[in-house]
Amino acid sequence: MSPPEWTIIDFIHTGPWWRNRGILVLNLWLLLPLLSSSVNGLNSSLVNGLQIIPAWQEYFNHPSGKTLGLINAAQNIGCLVGLPISPFLSDGLGRRPTLFLGSLIMLAGIAIQTAATSVQIFVAARIIMGIGLEFCSNSAPLLLIELSYPTQRGKITSMYNSSWYLGSIISAWVCFGAYERAEHSLWSFRAPTLVQAMIPFAQVVLIWFIPESPRFLVSKGFEGRAANILAKYHANGGDERDPLVVFEIAQIRHAIRMEEEINTSTSFRSLFATPGNRKRMRLIIAIGLFSQWSGNGLVSYYINLVLEGVGVTKTETKAIINGSLQCFNFVIAIGAAMLVDWVGRRKLFIISNAGMLVSFGSWTVTIALYNNFDNLAAAKATIPLIFIFYFFYDIAYTPMLVAYTLEILPYRIRAKGFALMNLTVMLTVAFNQFINPVAIDAIGWWYYLVYCAWLIVELVFVVIFIVETKGRTLEETSAMFDGDEQPHDLIAMGGDAATMSMSRRNVVELDHKYSQKEELELQELHSRPDSDLMPRAL
């Protein structure tokens, strides 16, 4: 088959994106689903913040042990309850209705948590919030990746997971501010809880102004509505015959038809039914594991143990280090999200894993020196090494955990494959929460050597298996694992459709041009004096 005459690169907007009204308005609307990750960060971090507020401790009788563990785990329990349901809602109802429903459920949970009078009610509220959060966490990134402008898809989707740190930062400062303003009042912990409602409330009110995913609409047979959305937000001028719109619609339609032939069912079993899907799942499960088992779990959930292990005991110092680390993570992750299309996914993963291995190895050495020889210089060196480690972690696993997972999954199994990745992360987080503190207490710094060995395994896997995906449309990327012909067929289908559209537009414009010329000549003829129109007398 001969290469297509046109590719999507020929039709994309070339000037500053903010000068294209459609792209500008689209990106403003996409802020709503983008902030779902910040809600996750805020909700997940809030319990840690509430524990430092005396009024919360007194009101709930200083929960500890299993009770405190249940409070911490309640949101994840809700997420696990909602996880098997969320992809079916996203694929059946649509991305927008699922996001709307999830936000409503979260608002109900937040209301119950704010008014909670016992630990049991508090835990129940956290479980309800977890169910709603899971619905939002499944549908929001799907809406982002399927609606974004083609050249901005990688950056916007990578920003999604990076925004988790923004919620974590807000949680820390809101709890601190509430404690400062109302130290012993019940509102010192109820006010931070109410802050959780801001983004879900905005999503409930504004979600219907955001367009639905064109991929979802095409899959349900509403190609006209999908073309109208793409014309309004992707084509400068809103013409459904615009070559970019025709190219995208042709690829989406053809990709969904090919997926129906490959994935005859859309159950969770279909995720492993074909060789291409098994390759995808190998990558998705691996990066889900690596995102939590690279040593970052030690700091994320037990920074107190880590810092005390190198002699940092003052509460204020720990708080400053932890708060500074969250801000640092957010800045680095957002910066890395801007690089995914320039540097490439594969290079960022390799650099990330290599850097984590070296920095974590150095971190292990400093901890060993301090614990075995009371070397204070080594203890001081540990703090910057933690920041260096997170620098390398944040350039790949924070921005691309969600983005890479979604872009390698075809439409028909995208929601379910994404749910499986979330399940993998939840299970590894549970491992971190229960095993890490036990292991540190039992063998101390020697436990760090286990992570050093595991980081070597991660680096080898990434070098061998991670596939580069930059420079492709969403349909071309997801088809890479189903054989060499699939991406080529998609490019050819889109190129042929766009070529035909351009040819038709040229003919129409040429006909219009000649019609205008003939009309002008006729007007000029009628405007002449009558004597000029009559034959001269002999």
pLDDT in tens, 174-189: 777 776 665 567 777 7
Q: What is the pLDDT of residue 287?
A: 95
Locate 503 and state its tokens.
């040819």
Q: What is the mean pLDDT of residues 272-300?
A: 87
Q: Which residue has the higher pLDDT, 20 or 352?
A: 352
* Higher-scoring residue by pLDDT: 85, 530: 85
Neighbouring C-beta atoms of residue 391, cutoff 10 Å: 18
Ranges 83-97, 364-378, 441-455, 510-524: which has the least confidence: 510-524
pLDDT band, very low/low/confident/very high, at 310 (cuts 50, 70, 90): low
Residues in CB range of 230: below 8 A, 6 or more apart: 214, 240, 244, 245, 248, 249
Are 305 and 437 in contact by the 8 Å Cβ rule? The answer is yes
Which residue reads 């969770």 in tokens? Answer: 268
Residue 341: Cβ-neighbour burial (10 angstroms; 0-12, 13-18, 19+): middle
Higher-pLDDT residue of 532, 153: 153
Average per-residue pLDDT in the chain?
82
> What does pTM read for this prediction?
0.83
Lowest mean pLDDT among 108-112, 223-227, 506-510: 506-510
Residue 493: the pLDDT is 52
**Eight-state DSSP code of residue 56:** H
Specify which of 74-78, 212-216, 430-434 reaches the highest per-range mean pLDDT.
212-216
| Sign, CA torsion 291/132/408/26 | negative
Region of poorest pLDDT, from 263-267, 425-429, 448-452, 517-521 = 517-521
Average pLDDT over residues 78-100: 94
Where helices occur in 291-314 by DSSP H, the ranges are 296-308
More confident residue, 357 or 67: 357
% of the chain residues with pLDDT over 90? 42
Confidence of residue 507 (pLDDT cuts 50, 70, 90): very low
The pLDDT, as a whole number, for residue 174 is: 79
Please report which confidence band the pLDDT of residue 508 belongs to, taking 50, 70 and 90 as the band edges. Answer: very low
Residue 184 host element (H or E): none
Q: Above pLDDT 70, what percent of the chain?
A: 82
Quick one: pLDDT at residue 510? 43
Are 155 and 334 in contact, with CB atoms under 8 Å apart? no
* Angle at the Cα of 225 from the Cα atoms of 219 and 226, rounded to 5 degrees: 55
- Whether pLDDT at 446 is above 90: no
Angle between helices 21-34 and 119-147 (to 10 degrees): 160
Is 307 strand, coil or helix? Answer: helix
pLDDT grade for 477, boundaries at 50, 70 and 90: confident
Q: Report yes or no: 475 and 244 within 8 Å, Cβ to Cβ.
A: no
Give the integer Cα–Cα distance in Å for 505 and 512: 10
Determine which of 72-76, 320-324, 471-475 has the lowest per-residue pLDDT on average: 320-324
Buried-state track 487-496, b at ≥16 Cβ within 10 A, e below 16: bebbbbbbbb
Query: Is pLDDT at 531 greater than 50 in this prediction?
Result: no
Q: Do 280 and 481 form a contact (C-beta atoms < 8 A)?
A: yes
User: CA dist 65 to 68, 70, 215, 482, Å?
Assistant: 5, 9, 47, 50
pLDDT (0 to 100) of residue 533? 41
Arithmetic mean of pLDDT, 71-91: 90
- pLDDT score of 529: 53
Number of other residues whose CB lies within 10 A of the CB of residue 419: 23
Contact 225, 135 (CB under 8 A): no
Q: How far is CA 13 from CA 210, 340, 433, 512, in A?
A: 21, 19, 47, 25
Whats the size of the chain, residue-wise? 538
DSSP string, 510-527: HHHHHHHHHHHHHHHHHT
Confidence check: pLDDT of 140 > 60 = yes
The pair of structure tokens assigned to 492 is 């050819």
Between residues 443 and 462, which one has the greater pLDDT? 462
Mean pLDDT in residue range 267-285: 88
Buried b (16+ CB within 10 A) or exposed e, 287-314: bbbbbbbbbbbbbbbbbeebbebbebee
